[in-house]
Structure 1
Amino acid sequence: MRTTMKSTTFQSVHRATLAGLAALALSGAGLAHADVDLSKSTVVATTKQMNVPVDGKFRKFSAQLNFDPARPTAGSANVSIDTGSYDLGADDYNKQAQGKEWFDSASWPAATFVSSAIAPAGGNQYRITGKLTIKGKSQTVVVPVVIASQGATQSFDGSLPIKRSQFDVGTGEWKDTSVVADEVVIKFHLVASKK
């Protein structure tokens, strides 16, 4: 009984953890001088628990964004993520995601991404370098982004593999990467209105 409950609880908590990481990478990638439409934007982060894929979604973030396709290297992004802003459909799971073994939202209420460089990568592809900080741990990441324009909006799509252990996400009994994979693959779709 304990093992079954533990596994179910883990899946929900892990979804929240991955969602936070995904959203952070997505927000950093979505460099547009525009308003981000959260209702049309999606973030999915996938890892494996006992070789079973586990997805997570993120709900809330704020960002100061600036991107001009005519001058991409002049762009910038400063993103703040509310680590306690997860809705998994059950209060118990949400509280566990905010706990010390995962995001420790009481101590670290925000995760951040601050860009340092944007480089064209051919066509409508870009590589955005910046500092990703979660639970006080920082890593430099490079986010590959494909930008497409349609009417009054721009979309930003890509994926980014990161390691949760580098940010102390999943500690204690969840630190064992043979149970929960260390690698998290973040896939994102961000829609922003042009200005």
Structure 2
Amino acid sequence: MLRTLSRFSLIVLATFASSGAGAAVADGGSYRIAPTSSIGFHVGQVGGGGIDGTIKEVSGQFRLDPSDPARASVSIDLKAASVATGQPRIDAFLQSEAVFDADAHPDITFRSTRVVQTGPRTARIEGTLTAHGVSRPETFQAELTNQEKGRFVFHVVGDIYRTPYGMGVGTPIYSNVVNFDMRLEGQR
């Protein structure tokens, strides 16, 4: 569930794509993460199945500097109370003290510390994820999937271990690994 935050860092990928992605990337500066972005997650279960959900409230921004991609930055903010699985009982449990503790720790954040280009349209985003009051380094993979003047769309994936964040309830029946699959849209 925490993985969702790191997807945001993929937006920084646009900075690296400037070598062949088109004129839109040349537009440096600040971009906001659009509310049309989506953060999906999956926690596997022994014997198959598991828990699939989304984190609905996402915001933040990223800065691009086409002349110096290493200066790119990403800041992502999620609301723990917006976790949704389509099952009210599971949603309440995930928002409770046992998992996100949304009342005591309402915000999940990701702040990039480094962006490394791995291909013409891909990058590795490193940064600090804070959830449930715990901050740890995490890494996500991003791919630039669409760009237009003033708009970038990234597909971001990553896996995060939940026990270091104090969210290990249910292991080993439920996986310790949370798989994140995100679509992040940045707009001027």
TM-score interval (norm. to shorter): 0.7 to 0.9
Match of 1:84 among 74, 81, 84: 81
Q: What amino acid maps onto 2:97 in structure 1?
A: K
Hey, what does 2:142 align to over in structure 1? 145
Q: What amino acid maps onto 2:127 in structure 1?
A: G
2:6/2:139 contact within 8 Å kept? no
1:157/1:190 contact within 8 Å kept? yes
Hey, what does 1:126 align to over in structure 2? 123
2:33/2:58 contact within 8 Å kept? no
What is the CA–CA distance in structure 2 between the aligned matches of 1:107 and 1:180, rounded to whole Å? 24
Hey, what does 2:94 align to over in structure 1? 97
**Is residue 75 of structure 1 aligned with residue 72 of structure 2?**
yes
Normalising by structure 2, we get a TM-score of 0.79
Q: What amino acid maps onto 2:38 in structure 1?
A: T
Normalising by structure 1, we get a TM-score of 0.76
Unmatched tracts of structure 1, length 5 or more: 1-17
Unmatched tracts of structure 2, length 5 or more: 15-29
Superposition misfits of 4+ residues, deviation over 6 angstroms: none
Hey, what does 2:167 align to over in structure 1? 169
Equivalent pairs counted in the alignment come to 170
**Is residue 48 of structure 1 aligned with residue 44 of structure 2?**
yes
Q: What amino acid maps onto 1:183 in structure 2?
A: V
Hey, what does 1:8 align to over in structure 2? none
Q: Quote the sequence identity (%).
A: 22
1:77/1:115 contact within 8 Å kept? yes
Measure how far apart 1:69 and its partner are: 4.3
2:41/2:53 contact within 8 Å kept? yes
Q: Of Structure 1 and Structure 2, which has the larger fraction of its residues in strand? A: 2
RMSD: 2.1
Q: What amino acid maps onto 1:162 in structure 2?
A: I
Measure how far apart 1:120 and its partner are: 1.3
What is the CA–CA distance in structure 2 between the aligned matches of 1:66 and 1:169, rounded to whole Å? 31
1:22/1:57 contact within 8 Å kept? no
Measure how far apart 1:88 and its partner are: 4.4
1:22/1:44 contact within 8 Å kept? no
What is the CA–CA distance in structure 2 between the aligned matches of 1:65 and 1:22, rounded to whole Å? 18
Hey, what does 2:26 align to over in structure 1? none
Q: Secondary structure at the match of 1:57?
A: strand
1:34/1:66 contact within 8 Å kept? yes
Relative distance call for 1:105 and 1:92 in structure 2 (3 A) is same
